[in-house]
Amino acid sequence: MSEAKTQPTQVSAADFIAAVEPVGKREDAELLDAIFRRVTGAEPVMWGSSIIGYGSYKTTYASGRDVHWMRAGFSPRKAKHSLYLMGGYCDELAGKKRDAQLEKLGKHSRGKSCLYINKLADIDLAVLEDMIAADWEAMRRIYPED
């Protein structure tokens, strides 16, 4: 089996965030980093060239593919921030709780395990923080610390 293309790097997350443009995206990224650090208690690690991850886990898919991935994270993309909240994807109970939280979050869109937010001013940050905490707890329950 081949390794995942996106792997942890030695690049500084702080340096990456400091270079994010435009300024509004950078300020949002700084705030997201502060929220993720506070909720998870983990230091950020760059995954690939543009994803900031917190914690990690390893699992093997039913296909036999071994996976090493972040427990939670985000990427300050040009169009929208991509938030990777794995707990709701990996755990049905956490997924149902997340669905209820999304109703209160504010303007967003989503993919299978990603939450897309244009700017943080569009959402309720307390709801987002609760979502991150619930997903983090689900990941700790499903995948005990490495």
Q: What is the pLDDT of residues 126-145, one digit of tens each?
A: 999 999 999 999 988 888 86
- In sequence order, the 6+-apart residues with CB closer than 8 A to the CB of 67 are 4, 58, 59, 60, 61
* 13-142 CATH fold: Aspartate Aminotransferase, domain 1 (3.90.1150)
Q: Check residue 84 and give its pLDDT.
A: 93
- Angle (CA) 76-78-80 rounded to 5° is 65
- Provide, rounded to the nearest whole percent, the portion of the chain with pLDDT above 70: 95
The answer to whether the CB of 84 falls within 8 A of the CB of 109 is no
Query: Would you state the pLDDT for residue 5?
Result: 75
CB 116 within 8 A of CB 110: yes
What is the rounded average pLDDT of the residues 97-122?
91
pLDDT at 52 over 60: yes
Which whole number is the average pLDDT over 35-56?
Answer: 96
